[in-house]
């Protein structure tokens, strides 16, 4: 089961370790006119809830690469029921491009008997209204490799071929031990499973803390795909995972290097401007009723420190975009409500 963006209901199985269902729709949109799903500007719509870390990855990559004009975006609200994510933030509760109330409708348009949870991120073919893929692991890699013809001038190379041999094991570590590790803690079905998950998570965070002691970003002087993947967990750590998922050996702010690194990314265009802290908290504390049956959403923590100086640029030098340039400000539809950002706490 997929406790973050699956809509099937309860996520805790008594006495058992949490196991994520990783069976997704693995179709790909390819830079090949003969492909079933060819790259084509304006044809596809990314459905990505701000609350979800896996969807947040796609939002960041789309912004950094400048694909906003090529791939439109629809954003469900932060909560959902057992059936589906819904477009409750849009006028009349319908996605303005697809005309649907529930993401489930795009899945059923292609697979009438789709048996799995309705997940975000998902990419939908606008002309047919059918879901193409929900394989979040591959979507961002294909944004980098398959959509080059539509990337902005100055876009960073997020998945450099020369670094992949080193990056791929790090991507695996981050997914299994950190991205999924927090869920393994939060949805553990026994004390034994929880303690095992807890130790695995903080062992990995200690490893990453050490790695960031002598480099600005995970692969060196510039951001890459691995930074996107780690950031979306780190930015949710103190507001949600520390308390809601019982990941409470340390707060993120207790790690010197990880905390500075996370602030460095948050303050980088394309990262923090995709983060909606209120939607994040609403999603976890309202949807996960098996963990939080009262559905009370905490007011804190104080987020103002996300904007404090991190000093990593002065300490290590380098540039987030390498020889490239930052993206321009987000489009109005992509802009986070200012009241839901760290700036609202200053």
Beta pairing, strands 122-125 & 44-47: antiparallel
Tell me whether residue 183 is one of the annotated catalytic residues: yes
**Cβ atoms of 231 and 262 closer than 8 Å:** yes
**Cβ atoms of 53 and 240 closer than 8 Å:** no
Beta pairing, strands 72-74 & 44-47: parallel
The residue annotated as part of the active site, out of 107, 136, 159, 183, is 183
77 Cβ contact list (under 8 Å, min separation 6): 49, 85, 86, 87, 88, 89, 279
Torsion of CA 63, 64, 68, 74, to 10 degrees: -30
Burial track 29-46 (b if 16+ CB lie within 10 A, e otherwise): beeeeeeebebeeebbbb
Distance of CA 169 to the CA centre of its chain: 19
Where would I find the H helices in the chain?
53-65, 104-110, 136-145, 164-173, 181-186, 191-211, 225-236, 242-244, 256-266, 277-287, 312-316
**Cβ atoms of 25 and 52 closer than 8 Å:** no
- Residue 247 falls in which region: left (phi positive, over 0), alpha (psi -120 to 50) or beta: beta
The residue annotated as part of the active site, out of 11, 44, 52, 107, is 52
Tell me whether residue 266 is one of the annotated catalytic residues: no
Give catalytic residue positions: 52, 183
């Amino acid at each position: 089961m997929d406790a973050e963006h699956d809509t099937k209901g309860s996520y805790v199985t008594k006495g058992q370790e949490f196991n994520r269902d990783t069976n997704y729709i693995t179709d790909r949109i390819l830079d090949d006119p003969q492909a079933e799903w060819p790259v084509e500007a304006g044809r596809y719509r990314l459905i990505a809830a701000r609350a979800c870390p896996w969807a947040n990855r796609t939002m960041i990559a789309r912004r950094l690469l400048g694909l906003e004009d090529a791939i439109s975006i629809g954003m469900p609200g932060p909560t959902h029921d057992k059936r589906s994510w819904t477009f409750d933030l849009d006028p009349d509760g319908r996605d303005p491009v697809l005309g649907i109330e529930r993401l489930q409708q795009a899945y059923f348009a292609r697979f009438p008997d789709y048996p799995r949870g309705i997940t975000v991120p998902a990419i939908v073919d606008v002309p047919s209204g059918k879901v193409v893929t929900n394989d979040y692991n591959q979507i961002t890699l294909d944004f980098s490799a398959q959509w080059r013809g539509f990337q902005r001038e100055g876009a960073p190379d997020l998945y450099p071929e020369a670094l992949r041999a080193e990056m791929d094991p790090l991507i695996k570590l981050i997914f299994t031990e950190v991205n999924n590790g927090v869920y393994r803690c939060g949805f553990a079905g026994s004390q034994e499973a929880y303690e095992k998950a807890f130790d695995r998570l903080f062992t990995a965070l200690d490893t990453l803390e050490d790695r960031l002691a002598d480099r600005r970003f995970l692969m060196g002087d510039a951001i890459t795909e691995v930074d996107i993947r780690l950031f979306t967990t780190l930015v949710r750590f103190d507001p949600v995972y520390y308390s809601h998922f019982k990941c409470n050996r340390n707060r993120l702010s207790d790690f010197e290097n990880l905390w500075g690194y996370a602030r460095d990314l948050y303050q980088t265009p394309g990262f923090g401007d995709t983060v909606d802290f209120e939607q994040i908290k609403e999603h976890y504390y309202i949807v996960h009723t098996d963990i939080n049956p009262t559905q009370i959403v905490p007011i804190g923590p104080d987020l103002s420190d996300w904007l404090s100086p991190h000093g990593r640029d002065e300490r290590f030098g380098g540039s987030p975009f390498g020889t490239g340039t930052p993206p321009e400000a987000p489009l109005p539809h992509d802009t986070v409500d200012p009241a839901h950002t760290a700036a609202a706490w200053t």
